[in-house]
Amino acid sequence: MNEERIIYSIYEDLIQSAAEANLGRELTETELKRLPCVFMDSPFFDSIYCALIEAAEDAMELKGWEEWDQRYKDTPLEEMPV
């Protein structure tokens, strides 16, 4: 069993809204199941990976996080707002 924790999720509503607004319809169940493969094969994945590195760098900053850290100090990672 995989013990990795999910840090951020992309919800179906966001994907479906983007598809309908930009492509004229929502994705089918089959098309949704294809997305993990498509994400990994997309040249945009490199941009997402770079964004993850930048986000990690920002999260490592020591200043400016006091209020956030205090607010969520007792919140499990799995219950953090997205």
Residue keyed to tokens 């949704």: 32
Question: Of 2, 7, 3, whose CA–CA distance to 52 is shortest?
Answer: 7
- The better pLDDT of the pair 8, 54 is held by 54
Q: For position 10, what pLDDT does the model report?
A: 84
Model confidence over 1-36: pLDDT tens digits? Answer: 567 887 777 889 999 999 999 999 999 999 999 998
Residue keyed to tokens 């490199």: 46
Residues 82/10, Cβ–Cβ less than 8 Å: no
Q: For position 77, what pLDDT does the model report?
A: 87
The domains of the chain are located at: 12-75
